[in-house]
């Protein structure tokens, strides 16, 4: 072989070796991890485009949420409930900020060891125009604040720092809208509270709610003050303010299967600064420690625990 031909052949071999080394470097685990670490977990999917969400664990649906013209709704069995816009929006904002962490494994045989087998939570996010993303969320990582996550369309599991485990482990009722009053009603927006009737709580400790009184927010020379109608002395301002705030934030634990029968034991009528009126009616629950509550603005019956009711509807003596 002539010298020139040898040079050409040697250059060709060197070029092949160089290309192989370059490709090996590009696709090495270290380079792949460097390129993928820090990517948004949702990829090109925008949280604002998500119109549905399913959480499944061991083949059982924990939550099925859909955005409708009436707002977010949650389906459980054959029933559809109003879903919490606050909690869904918070979850989607958090999801939009999550990033892939370090590569955990690209070997599918190791995925079950990371909790990415049958015991994984499956989260499916549905976006407009038919787009969707499925995530498998496994065990908590060694640091304690990361989860092993496998995303659809990828062949590798990554550690993701965030709150995925917290949200996916919640009971289905976590996603329901269980506030007895509309979200726009705040303690500071309540102008008057009229309580009629009484309801005994089994406790412990046993307690009696309500009575017959009207709490008014009135303007005076020193600003607004709470007073008990018909009494010369002003109400305990801290106790009255706490009552208004507790009523505005009153939240059930679950929806009741059926509406209560008969007359309510206790009724609370509220008026807000903008002239809107709301009424809450209370009945004893089916089991001790629970009370059934209906609201004039809603078709639902809420199961409410004793503790928030003790704060929201005290006896008049506790307001003096």
Residues 145-198 pLDDT 10s:
899 999 987 889 999 998 898 999 999 999 999 999 999 999 999 999 999 999
- pLDDT band of residue 37 (cuts 50, 70, 90) is low
Return d(Cα 194, Cα 216) in angstroms, integer: 9
What's the chain's average pLDDT? 87
Residue 16 has pLDDT above 50, yes or no: no
Mean predicted confidence (pLDDT) in 268-291: 93
**Res 12 pLDDT > 90:** no
Q: Over 60: is that where the pLDDT of 11 sits? A: no
Report how far apart, in Å, the C-alpha atoms of 162 and of each of 56, 97, 238 are.
19, 9, 38
Q: Give the pLDDT of residue 31.
A: 45
Q: How far, in Å, CA of 53 to CA of 67, rounded?
A: 9
* Average pLDDT of the segment spanning 200-211: 82
Q: What is the mean pLDDT of residues 104-123?
A: 95
- Beta bridge partners, 283, equal 292
Token look-up 């109003």 returns: 82
Question: How are the residues of the chain apportioned to helix, strand and coil, as percentages rounded to the nearest 5?
Answer: 30, 40, 30
Look at residue 130 in the predicted model and tell me its pLDDT. 66
To the question of pTM greater than 0.85 for the whole model, the response is no
CA torsion angle 192 197 199 200 (round to 10): 120
Tell me which of 260 and 16 has the higher pLDDT. 260
């Amino acid at each position: 072989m002539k010298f020139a031909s040898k040079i050409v052949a040697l250059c060709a071999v060197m070029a092949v070796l160089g290309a192989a080394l370059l490709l090996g470097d590009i696709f090495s685990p270290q380079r792949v991890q460097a390129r993928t670490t820090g990517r948004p977990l949702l990829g090109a999917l925008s949280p604002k485009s998500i119109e549905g969400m399913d959480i499944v664990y061991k083949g059982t649906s924990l939550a099925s949420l859909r955005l409708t013209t009436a707002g977010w709704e949650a389906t459980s069995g054959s029933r559809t409930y109003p879903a919490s816009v606050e909690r869904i929006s918070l979850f989607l904002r958090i999801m939009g900020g999550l990033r892939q962490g370090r590569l955990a494994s690209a070997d599918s045989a190791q995925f079950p060891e990371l909790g990415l087998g049958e015991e994984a939570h499956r989260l499916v996010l549905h976006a407009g125009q038919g787009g969707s993303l499925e995530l498998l969320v496994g065990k908590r990582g060694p640091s304690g604040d990361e989860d092993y996550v496998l995303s659809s369309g990828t062949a590798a599991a990554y550690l993701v720092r965030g709150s995925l485990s917290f949200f996916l482990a919640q009971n289905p009722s976590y996603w329901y809208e269980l506030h007895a009053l509309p979200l726009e009603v705040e303690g500071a927006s309540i102008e008057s509270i009229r309580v009629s009737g009484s309801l005994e709580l089994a406790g412990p400790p046993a307690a009696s709610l309500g009575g017959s009184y009207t709490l008014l927010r009135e303007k005076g020379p020193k600003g607004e003050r709470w007073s008990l109608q018909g009494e010369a002395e002003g109400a305990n301002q801290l106790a009255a303010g706490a009552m208004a705030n507790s009523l505005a934030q009153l939240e059930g634990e679950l929806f009741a299967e059926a509406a209560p029968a008969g007359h309510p034991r206790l009724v609370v009528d509220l008026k807000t600064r903008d002239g809107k009126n709301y009424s809450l009616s209370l009945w004893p629950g089916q089991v001790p420690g629970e009370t059934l509550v209906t609201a004039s603005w809603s078709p639902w019956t809420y199961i409410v625990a004793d503790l928030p009711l003790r704060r929201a509807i005290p006896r008049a003596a506790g307001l003096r």
